[in-house]
Amino acid sequence: MSRALFGHGVYAVAFTHPVVPRGAARIRVQVSAAHSDAEIACCVEAFVRARRDVAADGHTGTGR
């Protein structure tokens, strides 16, 4: 998912097992007051597109 996000212009860090429990992977992004509403909207859209990309590749999103 983090690779897919990067492909859509968003740098996001993935946390997977053993940092978090197996099956409970996380994505972390940094948001600040310096980001515009348009940049936040773009980031949200990147998450939507990246999720579609990951699902199209056959990943279930369970982290397993």
Q: Where are the domains of the chain?
A: 2-56
Confidence bin at 61 (pLDDT 50/70/90):
low
How does pLDDT run across 8-46, given as a tens digit for each residue?
Answer: 999 999 999 999 999 898 999 999 999 999 999 999 999
pLDDT band at 64 (very low <50, low <70, confident <90, very high): very low
Q: Tell me yes or no: is domain 2-56 CATH 3.90.78.10.
A: no
CA distance 23 to 45: 24
For residue 2, is pLDDT > 80?
Answer: yes
Nearest residue to 26 via CA among 44, 1, 4, 9: 1
Q: How many whole angstroms from its chain centre is CA 40? A: 13
What's this model's pTM, rounded to 2 decimal places?
0.77
pLDDT value at 62 more than 70: no
